[in-house]
Amino acid sequence: MAAWSDASRGDLRPTGHGPADGVPLVLLAGELAEATHSRVDKVAWVTQVHGSQVHAVQSEEKAFGLGPELLHLGEADALVSASSGVALCVLTADCAPLALASAEGVFGAVHAGWRGLHAGVVEAAVDRMRGWGATEIVGSLGPCIHVECYEFSQQDLDTVGEVYGDGVRGRTRASRPALDVSAGIAAALERSGARMAPGVDACTACGDGYFSHRARRDLGRQALLVWSTSQTTKQ
Ligand SMILES: [Zn+2]
């Protein structure tokens, strides 16, 4: 299962300060688990650095507290797991939050801005899932900055276009060169043999109710959470 929050849940970043650190995020994970009759003991998150590093999460031990516990796994931009009880989290405000799923129960969460996309984070996450036995992999994209709002320098556009094709080249509303991140994600999935499925089609910059770094310099972040609804641990 995957769910994308909007700004109505507040800033979901665990800040590393104070007793309330990460509480809104674990509350959300607990609610989603309950609503889907799933077990979520751990919410795994990473410090995102716009690279292609993938963390694999194997966590069999149950948490002792009443709700889920936070599990910080260092720096990375993608998480994969096959464990029930673990929710994978990435935090965004314009970058693409991509949920990955497979029939084999291996799942993933990817944070992809243009640098991460160009560094191959989508392909790296899909590869890691295949290493764990996933065959048919499906990706769903959540709220991110859309092409009409994402003005881009011609030089950077060429850099991304060289790897992912001319489909990433778009225009803003004002007809300036723009990056189509969604097209880039779709191309990255296709070249890894995965396919795109519908997610949440909303622009964080001009849509209502999202944090946007680029449009408003928002500091807050919305979350993507991906977890297994299976009650038995597959790995
Ligand atoms: Zn927009």
**How close is the Cα of 217 to the center of ligand 1, in Å?**
15
**How close is the Cα of 95 to the center of ligand 1, in Å?**
13
**How close is the Cα of 161 to the center of ligand 1, in Å?**
21
pLDDT for res 59:
72
Q: Which residues surround ligand 1, an ion (CB under 5 A)?
A: 146, 148-149, 203, 205-206
pLDDT for res 16:
67
State the CATH architecture for 2-227. Answer: 4-Layer Sandwich (3.60)
- Name residue 8's beta-bridge partners: none
Q: Where are the domains of the chain?
A: 2-227
**How close is the Cα of 122 to the center of ligand 1, in Å?**
23
Pair 177, 184: CB distance under 8 Å: no
As a whole number of angstroms, the distance between CA 194 and CA 141 comes to 13
**How close is the Cα of 195 to the center of ligand 1, in Å?**
24
pLDDT for res 21:
81
Q: What is the pLDDT along the chain (235 residues), one digit of tens a residue?
A: 999 999 999 999 997 666 678 999 999 999 999 999 999 999 999 999 999 999 999 876 666 666 789 999 999 999 999 998 999 999 999 999 999 999 999 999 999 999 999 999 999 999 999 999 999 999 999 999 999 999 999 999 999 999 999 999 999 999 999 999 999 999 999 999 999 999 999 999 999 999 999 999 999 999 999 999 876 444 4
**How close is the Cα of 204 to the center of ligand 1, in Å?**
7
HEC string for the chain: CEEECCHHHCCCCCCCCCCCCCHHHHHHHHHHHHHCCCCEEEEEEEECCCCCCEEEECCCCCCCCCCCEEEEEEECCEEEECCCEEEEEEEECCCEEEEEEECCCCEEEEEECHHHHHHCHHHHHHHHHHHCCCCCEEEEECCECCHHHCECCHHHHHHHHHHHCHHHEEECCCCCEEECHHHHHHHHHHHCCCEEECCCCCECCCCCCCCCHHHHCCCCCEEEEEECCCCCCCC
**How close is the Cα of 68 to the center of ligand 1, in Å?**
34
As a whole number of angstroms, the distance between CA 10 and CA 8 comes to 5
Pair 2, 226: CB distance under 8 Å: yes
pLDDT for res 230:
74
**How close is the Cα of 144 to the center of ligand 1, in Å?**
9
pLDDT for res 235:
42
